[in-house]
């Protein structure tokens, strides 16, 4: 096994961009090969939170919205941001209510992941919400959401055929499918 210590040397850093959600820092570095270079890192100011909502009939609820960075429409599990220092589960409950109107009686954390670790420090936590109680969605003013109810098995098919491409949704849906299969 290779040495697991950090082979990078940081010489200097400069924040090139900053807004309420992210910042971009450029580092002057010495690479593992001993050469001087640069490295850019996108820092996310929120932890990404995802929720797979499962009802008593094993249906799930996806959220559809137009994603500005991709310039396309995307189907995803309900997702949002958890400000650093905020309780993850409380943020998951808020996001589920906000995007779908649901509240849940049972919560299970199923996944922690780094989303794109070659260029960012974005960290995600995903929960499964069960024992759902319907209510009114309360989307943010920047969100124009559609909600789609479908059998969970169909959500798995959507991942497999490329209809769902959001990384957190893909990982979460496949992880929950694996956990369900192990229980059966």
pLDDT the model gives residue 56: 97
| 3-state secondary structure labels for all residues of 82-151 | EECCCCHHHHHHHHHHHHHCCEEEEEEEEEEEECCCCCECCEEEEEEEEEEECCCCCCCCCCCCEEEEEE
Radius of gyration of the chain (CA): 19
Confidence band, pLDDT 50/70/90 cuts, at residue 13 = very high
Tell me the average pLDDT of the chain: 94
C-alpha distances out from residue 149 to 57, 58, 64, 100, 113, Å: 11, 10, 11, 10, 26
C-alpha distances out from residue 4 to 40, 113, 173, Å: 21, 19, 31
CA angle 97, 98, 103 (to 5 degrees): 0
Instruction: Check: CB of residue 98 under 8 Å from CB of residue 129.
Output: no
Task: Kindly report the length of the chain.
Answer: 184
Confidence band, pLDDT 50/70/90 cuts, at residue 64 = very high
pLDDT the model gives residue 184: 66
Gap between the Cα atoms of 133 and 127, Å rounded = 16
pLDDT at residue 176 is higher than 90? yes
**Predicted confidence (pLDDT) per residue in 66-122, tens digit:** 999 999 999 999 999 999 899 999 999 999 999 999 999 999 999 999 999 999 999
Does the predicted model carry a pTM greater than 0.85?
A: yes
Q: String of b and e for 33-45 (b: at least 16 CB within 10 Å)?
A: eeeeeeeeeeebe
pLDDT the model gives residue 1: 60
Across the range 27-45, mean pLDDT stands at 96
């Amino acid at each position: 096994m290779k040495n697991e210590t950090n082979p990078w040397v940081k010489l200097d850093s400069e924040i090139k961009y900053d807004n309420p959600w992210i910042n971009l820092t450029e580092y002057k570095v010495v690479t593992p090969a001993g050469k001087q270079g640069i490295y850019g890192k996108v820092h996310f100011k929120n932890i990404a939170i995802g929720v797979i909502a499962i009802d008593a009939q094993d249906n799930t609820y996806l959220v559809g919205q137009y994603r500005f960075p991709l310039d396309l429409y995307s189907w995803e599990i309900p997702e949002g941001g958890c400000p650093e220092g905020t309780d993850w589960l409380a943020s998951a409950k808020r996001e589920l209510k906000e995007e779908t109107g649901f509240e849940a009686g049972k919560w299970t954390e199923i996944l922690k992941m780094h989303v794109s670790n070659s260029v960012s420090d974005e960290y995600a936590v995903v929960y499964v919400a069960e024992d759902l109680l319907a209510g009114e969605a309360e989307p943010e003013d920047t969100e124009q959401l559609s909600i789609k109810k479908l059998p969970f098995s169909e959500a798995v098919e959507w991942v497999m055929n490329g209809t769902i491409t959001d990384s957190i949704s893909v990982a979460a849906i496949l992880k929950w499918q694996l956990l369900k299969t192990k229980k059966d």
